[in-house]
Chain A
């Protein structure tokens, strides 16, 4: 089925297989491999993208269902080779370990910050409830989001760049 969708501000028109999910369509048909597949069943959140302003698991959406949608993926974060403020905060706060959950984490926290520029720790935790980090580096991720929203207090004994 022929579909048209906008991904990171760029319009794409493709013939999409009806049996392909949005995740595989992004990775295989559009070559946007930043979005990852973890469980393929909506549990882990590695495949999180922002569709029409809301975070979704791209493994649980058919590509054909995304016809006409406006989608943002991790590739939309950096502009002209420069990392976004949120990405810089993740890097600075050691919020990236193996990195597999990071694209999904950034999408979930991006959507949070768009609606709520100064989230509390509890709100950050709720926003990443559907994103698993198997390195278990949640604390650093929460600190990165606090940092990106200008709320991180300096901590003793941890040297920051």
Chain B
């Protein structure tokens, strides 16, 4: 039995916005629940009410449009991304990143948007979506605003989402479709484990980006680098955006070393 809370499952965005406004920051959004319910189970948080968003049709599904790119609805779970034909064809990096999350049971339930909203420094989807230059659409009764993912994370477990807002969808730009890519995730074991350090890189004819996880207070990304950036400059760019710490999983020095090592490993895969 968890702490006391009320449960509501609105069926339209309008109802959701009204509930969020009424709760004035006291409600927590429930999507996959694979992080939220763990936090509640451990008594780390005790929300007054949960708003389940899984019944809202507007938040479902993955769509691809060659002009506007890929749209990932807020309630899309990892396994849907992994199995999606458009994702496999145009953005295989995302399928690989989603496959690296948790266990099959978690991938069947955990949402991509939830992985971002949890805003863990090691968020598995964070570095790959950052490398692809994704943005997020936030909605509330006051309207919709779009912000680049690189500005979304503000600190460990902190994001730009305001108390009346909900993440509606993640958008990956069309120009990144078919980008060359590579990713590495350092874990203690091959299976279900948290990243000690992770790197995702994407490169098109115009741009190269490096997303890094578990090496700064949030997932981070380099500035847009030229597609012809040399390996030395790519490594330097990655080193510039990270500021790893020592913790139970690894030392800062080891993390820094592995980020550079991974950039070196992935770099040849981008050409």
Could you list which residues of chain A lie within 8 angstroms of chain B, going by C-beta atoms? 1, 17-21, 24, 40-43, 45, 48, 54-57, 59-62, 64-65, 108, 111, 125-127, 129-131
Contacts and interface: CB of A to CB of B under 8 A. Distances in A.
16 contacts: A18-B6, A19-B3, A21-B2, A42-B38, A42-B106, A54-B79, A56-B109, A57-B106, A60-B33, A61-B109, A62-B50, A65-B30, A108-B104, A126-B104, A130-B102, A131-B103
A55 B105 contact: yes
Contacts of A41: 38, 41-42
Give the dominant DSSP class at B's interface.
Answer: loop
Interface string B14-47: 0000000000000000100110011001100000
What are the 10 tightest A-B residue pairs by CB atom distance, in nearest-first order? A130-B103, A54-B108, A18-B7, A129-B191, A130-B105, A41-B38, A19-B2, A57-B105, A60-B37, A129-B103
B206 interface: no
Contacts, number: 81
Given A20-B1, A42-B37, A64-B7, 6 more contacts: A20-B2, A41-B41, A54-B79, A60-B37, A108-B104, A129-B191
Interface in B97-113: 102-106, 108-109
Nearest to A28: B1
Contacts of A48: 105
A116 to B, nearest CB: 12
Most buried by A among B1, B41, B104: B104
Contacts of B54: 65
Give the dominant DSSP class at A's interface.
Answer: mixed
A45 B54 CA distance: 23
Contacts of B5: 18-19
Contact of B105 (A1, A17, A56): A56
Nearest to A48: B105
Most buried by A among B30, B34, B106: B106
B119 to A, nearest CB: 18
Contact of A59 (B3, B4, B7, B37): B37
B61 to A, nearest CB: 16
Contacts of A43: 192
A160 B6 CA distance: 54
Chain B's interface size range is: 20 to 34
Most buried by B among A19, A111, A127: A19
B52 interface: yes
A45 B105 contact: yes
A111 B41 CA distance: 27
Contacts of B9: 64
A161 to B, nearest CB: 31
Contacts of A17: 1
A19 B109 contact: no
Contacts of B33: 60-62, 65
Contacts of B104: 55, 108, 111, 126-127, 129-130
Most buried by A among B9, B37, B103, B192: B103
Nearest to B37: A60
A9 B4 CA distance: 31
A54 B30 CA distance: 19
Nearest to A107: B105
Contact of A56 (B3, B4, B52, B108): B108
A65 B2 contact: no
A64 B51 CA distance: 12
Contacts of A127: 104
A42 B7 contact: no
A143 to B, nearest CB: 19
B105 A42 contact: yes
Contacts of B109: 54, 56-57, 60-61
